[in-house]
Each structure stands twice: as C-alpha cells, then as structure tokens.
Amino acid sequence: MKAVVVGAGFAGSLIAKVLGDNGFRVLVLEAGAQPDHDEALLRFQTALVKTPLAPYRTTTAAPSSDYLINTGPFDYASPYLRINGGTGTAWTGITPRMHPEDFRTADLGHGRNWPISYDELEPFYRAAEWEIGVAADADEQRQHLPVADGYSYPMHALPRTYLDHVIASVVDGATIDGQELLITGTPQARNGIPVRGYRPDGQLCAGYASCVPICPEQAKYTPHRTQKRWSHNVELRTRCVVNRVHADEFGRVTKVSYQRYEDDTTGTHTRHEEEADVVVLAAHAIENAKLLLMSGLANSSDQVGRNLMDHPALLTWALMPEPIGPFRGPGSTTAIDAFRSGPQRCTRAPFRIEIGNWGWGWSAGSPGSDTAEFVAAGLRGNALRQAVANRVGRQFTLQFEIEQEADPTNRVTLGPGRDALGNPRPSVHYGLSTYVKDGLLDAKRVSDRIFELLRAEDHTSYKPDDERYFEHNGEPLRYWGAGHGGGTHVMGVSPRDSVVDQWQRCWDHPNLYAVGCGSMPSLGTSNPSLTMAALALRTAGHLVSRRVMSAGSELAESAGSRPPP
Amino acid sequence: MDAFVELSAELTGFSAEELRSTGLVEQYRGLAGNASHAEIIELWYTGVWRGVIPSPRAYAEGLAWKAVGVAAPGTGAPGFGSWERRPRRSAL
Ligand SMILES: Cc1cc2nc3c(=O)[nH]c(=O)nc-3n(C[C@H](O)[C@H](O)[C@H](O)COP(=O)(O)OP(=O)(O)OC[C@H]3O[C@@H](n4cnc5c(N)ncnc54)[C@H](O)[C@@H]3O)c2cc1C
Ligand code: SF4
C-alpha cells in the first residue's frame, strides 16, 4: 500500500510515522527546504524584530504566510511556516486539551458540533501526549478536565515561574463574576523530569526563554523529533511543492502533481507526478484548503476553505508591585481556566487566560521600547539603568485566547496573484463576530479585575493607529493572531455540510484524507495542536486497520460514515 | 582613559569594566564613535545600530537585559527550574 503525505509538518510527520511503522510505503512531499538549527539560531539573534518566522530560511518557490492576501474587514494575522517541520518548528509548545464542552459548541449556541466526543478522543490525547512528550500533572489537570484514571503524563509538570507563585498567592480562591479563580499548570511540550517508562528525546528545558521561535537546547518538541523515529518505509523529499491532486471519474484519487526546485532564490522548477493508493493532505489549514480548491476536489458541500477560525488573542500588560524576574524560562507555565466553560459562553466567546512570563516582549516590544522611552525622556547613566531595571523587572502580560466560532463567511479562496511557481496565492476574508468581540471585551474587563486584585499597575493601551485596532461598544480593543488557524476542511456528520468525516477522510473521495487543524469544527479555548495530533493518530490508526482488514480493496470503495473499524 | 568608553559609561550607567567585558568596545567605537548620545545608548542597551543588529554578540550583550539581571532570550541557560526562584535584586 503506497501513501503520499503532503507536508512534513506537525500532522504529516505523525501520520507518516504510524503508516511507516505499519508496513505502508510512505512518500512525504515537503514544499520547504531543510532548516539548519545553528543558522536559524544565528538569524534569530540578529533579527531586529524577533517574529516567529524570523529565524527560518524560506524559499522563493514555497513562500510562507507572508504571501497571503487579506480581503476582509479584519486582517488574518497568524503566520505559518513552510520549511521541513512546518509551523511546528516555530510553535511555542503549549499543549492543553480541549474542554469536553468544546466538542458541542453548536448545542451551546455558536459554531459547530464535532462528530466525536471528548471521551472518544481521550485515548488519542494520551497517545499524542506520549508521542510528543508532554509535561503535566494529571491530578492538576483533573481540576478542570476529565483525564483517564491511573494515567500519568510522560513527564512531571514543569516548575512554575516565580511570577506564577506570586500571582497564585493572591488570585487563588478569589472570584470574578462568581467564577472561582485558580492558577493551573499548563501542559507543555518541552522536556521536564520523566516518569518511569518514558525516555525524553532531547535536552531538559534549561530556561533559554526563546521557545518560540527557536529553542537553542531543542528541549521543545518539533516534528523533526518524530521524523528521526520514522522507519525505512518513509521517504522524505523536500523542496517539492504539491500543486494538484488528481481523481478518476469515480472520485478515487490516483496521483499528485508536484513541482521540484533546487534553487531557493528563484521559481525555477521541474514537474513530476506520483501515484498513490491513499493521499494524506497535511499542508496546514490554509494550504490544505488552497490545494483542494486548486484541484477542484472534495467540495460538493461548498465548505472547502470556509469556517476559518483562530484564536484572536487579547494581550493586557501591567507591572507587579515587586520584581518578579520575567524572561526566565518558558513563556507561560500556568493559566486561569475558569472562563473556558460554563453558561456564560452562550452569550460571549469563552477564553483561557495564560500568565505570560516574557515581560511585555510581545505586547509592547520590551525592553527596547522601555529603553527608548526613558532615553527620550532624558534619562542617562544610573538613572536610566535603574529605570529599565525597575520597569522591566516587574513586567508581565496576560494573554487571553478567545474562542472564535466556525463561520462560513470567514474563508480562504484562491487569490488573483500568483507565486513564483505560478500557483495562486491564498486569499483570506476574515472577520470577528459580535460573539467574539463580546468575548474580547469581557476578557478586557476580567483583566482589569485581575490587575486590581494583584495591585498591578495597568499599562495596557490600544490606540487607533495600532495594527488590528477596533472599537466595540465604544471601547478600544485590539487582537493578535495566535497562529491557530483551523476549520478550512471541516469535519462533520454529513457530506452535505462538511468536507471530511470523523476520520478526516474527504466525503467525496474514498482515499483522500485532509488532516490538521483544518478538520476541527471548533477550537474552543485551547492551543489546537495537541488535539490536532490526537486526531492525526486516530486517523493513522484507522488507515492501518482498514489496510489490515482488507489489504487494500476497502479503500477503493466509496466513502461514507462507516462505523469505526 | 578611553574617551569612547568613558562617555559610554556615563551615558549607560555601566562601569568601564562592565562595558569592556562585553567584548564590544572596539566594534561599537567603530560604529558609534561620532554618534549622538541617544544612538550610543540604544546601541549599548539593545544592540541595535541604525535599524540593524550588527552581530549576535551585540544582541546577547544588550545592557537592557543586564540591567534586569537576565540573559537575552535564547543566549543563556540559567538551568532547569531556575525560573521558580525569586529574582536577584539588580546590582545597584
Ligand atoms: C507563533 C506560533 C506559535 C504557536 N504556538 C502553539 C502552541 O503553543 N500550541 C499549539 O497547540 N499550537 C501552536 N501553534 C500552532 C501550530 O504551530 C499549528 O497548529 C501546527 O503547526 C499545524 O500543524 P500542520 O501539520 O497542520 O501544519 P504545519 O506544521 O505548518 O505543517 C505543514 C507542512 O506542509 C508543508 N506544505 C505546505 N504546502 C505544501 C505543498 N503545497 N506541498 C508540499 N508541502 C506543503 C509546509 O511546508 C509544512 O512543512 C503556534 C503557531 C504559531 C505560528
Ligand atoms: S525555556 Fe528555553 S530551554 Fe526551555 S523550551 Fe524554551 S527555549 Fe527551550
């Protein structure tokens, strides 16, 4: 059985591994080049603005998200990366599970339901946590989520930051809007102390404080780790941009076309084709949709590219009364989960509150911005040194991950422009619903209350000339792109209104799968990659059992909502 | 006494010795020997010279980080769990 996997990013690397381990011949076609760790580190250090993509060499032939065109009322602000390893190379590595409620958001009044429940996904969450290497404490997670009895995460929870301890000492047990606050450890895909039976891959997290975009120590999970564990059945070809998937008259996928380039600085390429028994698209939510649209496949529901969701993030920033030592260790080790669930989410989007440990780095460009401010105010010498120490040493940020519901008008289409290979650029029409804006506004109000409790000095300000600024009910607001794009090949129970079934198989094509956050009918308030990884492992298991069941003939049959094998 | 180092020390609040220990005096003298005070401070504090970070070392040795008592992100490994400790009072 021959599988072609399109994209060697987060989802594709996981699926290729399971298929390769189970006797498939797997060819992974990856658009980007191979990154070089040392070179990336150097680029990071000398990049003026340390954006998530800054360290990584990209190619003219396979541009990353910066070639995306925005046409909607709001800008879609999340980046993605096209190199071997994908966006999973630059990600932060925060890995909470979704809340059980998040799987039935339509029942709660907004967005879509999943075709599967939390309970059905739970075993795959555990498998994904062991494959990726997640540090967390099961009892602590049980305070807000069902986690299987007797289960341990492969590594113990990472130590909290000093900031977390200070905040917890004030906030734990306080209430806002009747919700009791509790600082809870956030599961992390970076190496801590292993439990028995787990051997961590890579070094122990040493506190470099640059996990996104690059961990010098390689203590953070990236798909390169999974690639190292690929069996000999898996072949990787980098610098191969898939630009078409072909199907026969019965809808069965037969082959893919791709463009191979050698030179990273031009669009010069050669054309190739590869036949396959099964094709798995794992090119990222936006690129998967683009590829399906370019191929004219899987779209009988007219949902391909629609329902684009992300977490519009709200940042608020303040000074603690005393120094707390920011910029030491991971970006965030705890969160407040009280606003993720419950009846309030029927009226405004729910949110998860990350305690941000890297000062005002993302929100306000610290410490460069503080220095510039003090210098402009005339401070020199010791006065300057002291002012910077006193300001930056007390900084912290709250990051609110706001749920965004599936909305068919938020969509990816093929743009008018062409890239260097002659392929259409993705065009995004993106907006924020009243539900999301109400969530952002409420998040700001909760932030005000938390800062009051902490006696923190609020420095948050959103100005009309800031990027992504807007007003809602007369209040100034702003959002940041979290990098969590999903929904663009949405999963459902019926071919009429969804693109893939619960196995991420395209309803219209029995041997074509589209995997990644694009399949997710809701994102809830969790960073999505762990859920995406759990889904990928579930899909891989399904492919393996179908092959075992009928050695290939089954895959030729028409798709449908078959019961699980 | 070196005039550039002396001026830098006066502007930044870091001693001549602290400045020399960055290994950047020669590079910075070449770049900013005749620059404005604000530019000299920006260079020492953030490693940025007219919109460019001239070397990885310039980033790593930024005085803004040293003022706070932390390593520039991605340049120093204080060790597993070190982030849990109360921060050192800055050396002032
Ligand atoms: C700054 C940032 C921080 C993040 N932090 C977190 C976090 O803390 N927690 C979390 O859960 N999520 C996080 N995410 C999201 C996470 O990175 C994504 O959810 C995840 O990487 C998506 O996986 P994927 O496999 O779908 O896509 P990717 O990882 O992007 O992989 C897609 C791959 O397909 C390749 N490809 C694309 N087009 C083609 C083509 N035409 N032909 C061949 N190959 C192609 C790409 O080059 C790439 O290698 C973050 C994202 C960003 C941007
Ligand atoms: S804190 Fe440092 S060592 Fe730990 S994962 Fe982040 S960058 Fe890597």
pLDDT at A562: 37
pLDDT at A565: 33
Chain B residue numbers with beta carbons less than 8 Å from the beta carbon of A380 are 10-11, 13, 37, 41
Q: What's the distance, CA A187 to chain centroid?
A: 14
Residue B89 binned pLDDT confidence (cut-offs 50, 70, 90): low
pLDDT at A553: 52
The pLDDT tens digits for A108-133 are 999 999 999 999 999 999 999 999 99
Q: Are A225 and A10 in contact (CB under 8 A)?
A: no
* Pairing of the two strands A270-275 and A253-260: antiparallel
- In this predicted structure, the answer to whether residue B90 has a pLDDT above a threshold of 80 is no
The pLDDT tens digits for A356-402 are 999 999 999 999 999 999 999 999 999 999 999 999 999 999 999 99
Is B82–A208 a contact, with Cβ atoms under 8 angstroms apart? Answer: no
pLDDT at A58: 87
Residue A559 binned pLDDT confidence (cut-offs 50, 70, 90): very low
A491: which DSSP letter? Answer: B
Residue A550 binned pLDDT confidence (cut-offs 50, 70, 90): low
The C-alpha of B13 sits at a distance from chain A's nearest C-alpha, in angstroms, of 4
User: pTM of the predicted model, to two decimals?
Assistant: 0.96
Superfamily the domain A1-86+222-309+407-431+486-565 falls into? FAD/NAD(P)-binding domain (3.50.50.60)
Burial of B1 (0-12, 13-18, 19+ CB in 10 A): exposed
Paired tokens of A541: 């298991």
Paired tokens of A466: 């800031």
The pLDDT tens digits for A129-183 are 999 999 999 999 999 999 999 999 999 999 999 999 999 999 999 999 999 999 9
Beta carbons within 8 Å of A149's beta carbon, 6+ residues apart: none
Q: Are A132 and A187 in contact (CB under 8 A)?
A: no
pLDDT at B1: 66
User: For residue A505, which of A308, A283, A305, A280 has the smallest C-alpha distance?
Assistant: A280
Beta carbons within 8 Å of A301's beta carbon, 6+ residues apart: A495, A496, A497, A498, A499, A507
Residues comprising chain A, all counted: 565
Averaged pLDDT score across all residues of chain A: 96
How far apart CA A336 and CA A180 sit, in angstroms, is: 10
How far apart CA A394 and CA B84 sit, in angstroms, is: 15
Q: Are A279 and A6 in contact (CB under 8 A)?
A: yes
Chain A residue numbers with beta carbons less than 8 Å from the beta carbon of B80 are 159, 192, 204-207
For residue A52, give the ligand 1 atom closest to its CA. 1
Whole-number Å distance, alpha carbon A216 to ligand 2 midpoint, is: 7
Q: What are the C-alpha distances in Å from B52 to residues A24, A447, B42?
A: 49, 36, 11
Q: What's the distance, CA A534 to chain centroid?
A: 13
Whole-number Å distance, alpha carbon A181 to ligand 1 midpoint, is: 32
Residue A548 binned pLDDT confidence (cut-offs 50, 70, 90): confident
Is A46–B56 a contact, with Cβ atoms under 8 angstroms apart? Answer: yes
pLDDT at A336: 98
Closest CB to B64: pick one of A324, A381, A388.
A388
Q: Which ligand is nearest to the CA of A488?
A: 1
- In this predicted structure, the answer to whether residue A342 has a pLDDT above a threshold of 80 is yes
- In this predicted structure, the answer to whether residue A457 has a pLDDT above a threshold of 90 is yes
Closest CB to B80: pick one of A161, A206, A326.
A206
Q: Are A281 and A292 in contact (CB under 8 A)?
A: yes
pLDDT at A178: 93
Paired tokens of A16: 């290729």
Burial of A270 (0-12, 13-18, 19+ CB in 10 A): exposed
* Pairing of the two strands A334-336 and A351-356: antiparallel
A178: which DSSP letter? Answer: T
Mutate to test the pocket of ligand 1, among A64, A65, A87 (most ligand atoms within 8 A of CB): A87
The C-alpha of B4 sits at a distance from chain A's nearest C-alpha, in angstroms, of 14
- In this predicted structure, the answer to whether residue A563 has a pLDDT above a threshold of 60 is no
pLDDT at B88: 79
The pLDDT tens digits for A230-279 are 999 999 999 999 999 999 999 999 999 999 999 999 999 999 999 999 99
User: CB count, 10 Å around CB of A548?
Assistant: 12
pLDDT at A8: 98
Residue A2 binned pLDDT confidence (cut-offs 50, 70, 90): very high
pLDDT average, residue stretch A543-554: 72
